[in-house]
Structure 1
Amino acid sequence: QAPLGVTPEVVLIIAQSITTKYQTYEEDDPGTEIGNLSEDLKINLSNSSQTSFRFMHEANSCVIQMREMDGLLTVRERIDREALCPLSPRCLISFDVVVFTNEKFQLVHIEIEILDINDNSPQFPSNERYIEVSENTAVGTRLPLDVAADQDVGQNYIQSYQISFNSHFGIDVQRGEDGLKFAELVLLEELDREKEDSYIIQLSATDGGNPAKSGSMNVYINVLDYNDNSPSFEKSLLKVELAEDAPVGFLLLKVHAFDPDDGANGEVVYGFTDDSSTDAKRVFQIDSHSGAVTLKALVDYETKKSYEFKIQARDLGMNSVPSTCKITVEIFDVNDNAPEISIKPITSVSEGVVYITEAAAKDSFVALISTSDRDSGSNGRVTSSLQGHEHFRLHKAYGDTFMIVTTATLDRERIPEYNLTVVAQDLGSPPFKTIKLFSIRVSDENDNPPLFSKSVYEVSVMENNVPGSYISTVIARDWDVGDNGKVTYKLLDRKVAGGVPLSSYVSVHPVSGSLFAMRSFDYEALKQIEAEVIAIDSGTPKLSSTTLIRVEVVDQNDNSPYITYPYLFNNSAEVAVPYNVPAGYPVLRVKARDVDEGANGKLTFKIVEDVLELFSINKDTGDIVLKYGLTFMIGDTAEIKILVTDNGRSPLSITASIHFLVTEMQPSEDQIVFVSQPTDMEYLDLDVSLVFIIILAGGCVLLMMAIMIVGFSYLKNQRNGDSNYNRNKNVFSNNPLLSLPSSYSNMHKHKLLILIWTEMNADIFNCLYSAAEYSDQLSVKDSGKGDSDFNDSDSDISGDGCRKALHLNVHATWAIHYPQPWRLPAGFLKQIPLPGRTLATALT
């Protein structure tokens, strides 16, 4: 509520602009309530919890305190009206307040009138005043007295002057053109120096306060002997006008005082009276002889509009009595001041820059533009305009004050800054124009989420990587700035294969967005990792977006093959073989696995050690077959070492030893095959199953025919009583083995070597070479070197092989030399014991 029972005056200027007026006394105690804006503006605080009141930084608001929550105005510190508005009949403190309520800003202009109290007493310039009066001074002569000063105004200012009782002097109180009262002594009776040469009069000044205050001084009047004529002015009061642009030295006027006396008593000099103000003496000067008043310093209408001073004229005679003339100089205005522009933003501002949030709605208040012109009349009337961009316009608030408001919503990402121009022009002739440039910077709001360049990133990484190694980088762009555009990255953790947290596999650097491996990947355990990364800005509220990183684990050859069949113990296995199987019999299919994939998991089989050279292996399937018929005794063993290798760039392998044990088990007929052998490689690398089946079936048929022929021949010889082959050196002549089937007649020509070992202790082998034509289908082994039959290392066409001595006790051994010659390796019979009766058959 307003003090003194005065209802605050609320004036609605325009929408969103209100002027409120209050009154308060000077010297009120700090905390004295002046008014409550929320009540006076009828703002219901319960409807808006975010209502706030704050100053627009007016200079005089330092003595006024305002409560932000409800706009309660109180006295911050004691107000001295005389210091704030010296000699002003009306003292106002004005400032602007911004009210934020219901999501809108409202501008309130406050005017607080400071009422005067009678706290100052009238004071004279000095406590004493000396006046000299000639004894022949005429009755009614007025003697100027010092004017008392009172800092108070209105009724509290000086209302009357009094003097102590004196029969010769009286007092006359008058009011000047400025409305202030002054006193003059009036001579009531003629003076007689010889009777009384001095007088002491007490001059008092009293104000109109309640209670009244007064001040006094002593006036000492000395009566002089008469120079009976004093200078007299033509006029005791002169008023002149002076343009404010008058130059220094300008002649304002010339005064003249006449003294009819002769000589020094009639010679007049001019000067300022003692009570003339220092300001008048600074601005004007008087020629003491001519009485010319000229301009000593420049004047300014906007600073001071009028001057008053007194000129006294004194003759040079003895006991000269001066006379005075009051001069009033009125300064008139010329258009010498350009308009001034003041910009008061709603937010904090640096030099020439105003800030506004991009979240501001249309018609939001941005800044307050005030224009002023120190000139008066049309010279001081100002028109204002705003140039620069259509998103802003001027909206009149009050007087020459305008609001800059938005005409549309703002987007910092499109236009971050506006350069505007305020133009103020007065109506003088010629007019003065002022242009002020300033910028409006749109402060960022977090209205843009970070955006990834892709919704899915696909990268690959080799397995067995080093933990902590770099994988890839994702980047999200945020068009906001500052914290709103500062992006951090985070991995959205989840469970992957086996219930293991994703964060144990990969991590994301929160600043760079780089993806790192937390562990060494194993392709065989996890072939693909899908990591979801979220990019979050640092604004309020935080905005985010996600992307998917699909990490493909690339297989490496990091797993060695392992043999699944036969079952190994200490890297070896024992396999049973029938005792009488023929050449081509599949004794074992080695099965192996490699957990790698592709070429890294494709396996190749190879025999790396076969002392007896009895076996061959299919490099793709791992099938091990006999190269020739097996005639070991039951219980004998043959050992080979196989190598299983993958096809990786750096191949890995495993070796195993296979021990073949000859047993009494009978071979399965469907397992007896002939093996086709090309001349330039160990196996023909064909994947066509049909060809392989045909070859295998043909080989089986031929092998069965050969067995039947040998069996029938053997039985026939037994019946003829020819059982002792070691006694007959020409045994081959009638041997049915030499009778080849006629179906072989059209096959290629090859050498057939038949060696007969008799049971007797013989030293010499009889060798018989006979030419026959045999098919390549019967070939089981060549030298493996890819050479021709003729140059094969196993060939023996010289007959020297027949002359080798063997000390053996065997029943019979026969060897058939097929497309390529074959011979037993050195030490073969020495390495393998042949107890009792042993049938050894070698086919090549």
Structure 2
Amino acid sequence: MVKRVEQQIAFAHAQITYKKEGGAVLFTVSSCFLKKPFFASLLLLRKSKNLHWSTFITAGTPSFAVRKMKLLRLTLLVFAWGLCQAQNFPPSFSNVVASVNIEELQQEYTDFVIYDVNATDPEGDNFTFVIPENSINSNLFRVEGYSGRVFTQPGVVLDREVLSRDDDPLHLLIEAQDGMHDEYPQFRLIIVLQDVNDNPPIIAPPYTSLSVLEDTELGFVLVEVEASDADSGNNGFFYFYLDETSSLFQLERETGKLRLIRELDYDNPLTRRHTLTVIVEDLGEEPLMGQSTLEIVVEDVDDLNPVFEPSSYTKSISENSTFGAFVERVSARDGDIGVDAAIFYTLEDAGNSLIDGNLSFVINSTTGEIFVDVASLDRETHSSYSLTVQAAQVNNTSKFASATVSIIVLDINDNIPVFDPHTNADFDLHLEDILNSTSPLPFNVSASGDIILSSPLNFEITEYYLFNVIATEAEGGNASAQVRVNVTNENDLIPVFQQLNYTGNITEGVSSGAFIEQVKAVDEDKGIYGEITYSISGGHFDDFYINTYNGAVFTDRKLDYENRSSYTILIDAVDSGNRTAQHLATLTVEVLNINDNHPLFDRESLTVQLEEETEEGSTVVALNVTDRDGDNLTERTFSIEAGNEFGNFTFDPELENVVVTLSRLDYDERPGLQEPIMLTIVVNDTLFTDEMILTIQLVDINDNSPVFQNESYQFEVFEEEPANTEVGIVTAIDIDSEEFGEVVYSIYPNDKSVLPGPSDGFPHISKTVQATIEVLDINDKRPSFVRDEYEVSVPENIDIVSDSVSARDMDAGTNAEITYELIHGNTNNAFVIDRKEGVLSRNPNVTLDREDEDFYVLTVRATDGGMPSMNGTATIKVTIMDENDEEPIFSPTYVSTSITEDTPTDSSVLTITATDGDTPSNAMLRYTLSVTGPPEPEPGCPEPPSGSFSIDGESGYIETLGEFDREAVKRHMCWRS
């Protein structure tokens, strides 16, 4: 089990930490004598006898530089202590970051304290609080040098809606400087602006006009009122309501949706236009409100039948009227005044107008004019006619109306007189004009004395006639009587407009009662029947009125070109007999536009992003401006009134509403461009202006490659270090913003170079540096034999036995140096092995005799030179090869047997057995019979006779060859092989 020890020792501003694991000790020294924290790592490898320490040393911030072998005494601790005591240290803050919440300020507070910053100096030196140059938000705040109190800058208003629109806090960096250092620690103050209810909700636009069909379904959403409030929280939430309760409309409190809740009526002039005041109020403790005007114009729909004016007609016509004679003009109009659909007329019998099944009259379906449709009329046959005229809409024949036309046929003197059979004295009657008019009298006198109308009368030509009736007898006597005939006026003529189309112009905004145009109609009737009354029969009743006596048309309210630029009015002329003009007059009123509306930006403020390095003349944004007066009435100009001190932006000379760049902007080099650029944009139409705030946030692009601090790096590391062991540190700096300047490192796979990995920007820019890492060997690999088992065969009794084994070690240097030794199976030390080369030899002092030991199993061990060493083993199997160095041996060496003399030929006698100590190849025996007796024959044992016996050469089997005679040979025979 590895014992681990950790201890921390503090020396003033130096801190040393060491820990021990197994045979290694790791020191970490945190020193204070550099501008940045210094870290030294001392890796103890082993302790030598002379009490020095063999180490690797590295230094950095923090980093591992090149590791080199050195001798370093433990007095390094004292050295670090002395350096720290001799240096001066910068002031330090009690904490490095703090947050403060303040309400946004709506007026200048020069002495308003935001926060008190605290710092101390280790040596007690004097120091000053400073906001670094070009620090973000340095234009808003200042710090009191000796106290650390943070104030707002003079004249600065902390408006959350301008400075912290997205509720992002403001950050302020502060340093405590004692004048003795190049760099100082920084304190970050986070200022959160809390909202106050200082912005009323705004409805855009402030005036809205919309047209709604009168048959719109109930519940339909006519418009959704939109509002905005720059405040936040409850101060920025709002609800809607109408200034006055409406019986027709309902405004949803939360959504601003205006719904129709009762039916609309265009036909009532008083309900054709509705003006609503919409109120929006926020939820602040002291609520603020805004309002807008919503004008709803009801548009007519085709829902009414045509209307005759008048509904009945009476006309007198002479009976001598012939085919095609004009009788009367009837007129009907669409009951929907705002639609004014075309009308067509048809004529029908009302009960007594048919002659032989046919009508005597015909009507023009378009104009409504009625004409005689027979050769002539006859009062004596038909003294009057009753017709029904039907008027229907061309676009919808289901909508129609009817009117009655009564036609009276006037008599003419077209029948001869018939005398009364009872006669008086004969006399002659005739008439004599007293007034001596140029026209003949339209009267005749009958023999009976009846004065009869002989031709139609015309009141407009002659209002009365004065004549004498003279009776003359045949004898010459006469008498006379004066007669005055007064012609009674009839309304037989209709008003006629002098022209059917009139045009008038009126400037918008003029007061009610302004004269526009005068229409004129004439009626040839005299007296009251010639008196004409004018009226507006179609168009816009509530916008205009007409002098009923002289036809002069005036405005009834102020007209607004932006709501409507043209009106068409239908004017009718009616005489006192209620006869209308054959054709209506049309008055077209053109409203003349004037510059009475402000140009308005579509928003009060706009934030856009612009990439740095954008080409000069590039479009930043196109601003949208609306002017209810239209785009062509006046010339609009755009200008940048504030925020363009460096002249970076202007307006496109051709596209006047387009902001373009004047120069290439570099986010990383130009001071101040990291902060939002707030431009005050003004639009002017020569009379009215509007302004908005355009905030341009210059967006950093990844246009700078990271730069390594060194051209190359070299590191050393012991093999077998665990994963994530720090080998060394390479450092690269990217001057792009934090988003793109954060460098990520990776190992480039092809050449193993160090590569900063992709940052958040696109495209990625990379730089490579060569980092050479030398891996230092440790003795972690065992020697390994080429083969786990070797087999060797050697002849016995040989003087030299030579064979070799081989092992390898994956370590390097001393750790890979191998020595060999035999550790097992070397019976009688028969073999020796070369320690360096692994060559196996016979021990010169030992003779190998296969018959004594024919097989050896040797264990050879290979040991490396590491400390501690490691080893591996292999097996050597040695086979001793046989040589024919052993003679056969009979066992036993003497055999005696007996046979009978009558033993037949080929009879078995016995089997002789011999052995040979050599291997089978050298121990193959061949048996033969020899006539030579033993070296020392037994006494009395003669030589064996030849041809008496035979032996099998392979088995040693002996058998008889012939007959035996005991009496001739009594004793046993002896032999050997």
Query: Does TM, normalized by the shorter one, top 0.5?
Result: no
- Scaled by the length of structure 2, the TM-score of the pair is 0.29
More contact order relative to length (CA 8 Å, sep ≥ 6):
1
Larger helix fraction of residues: 1
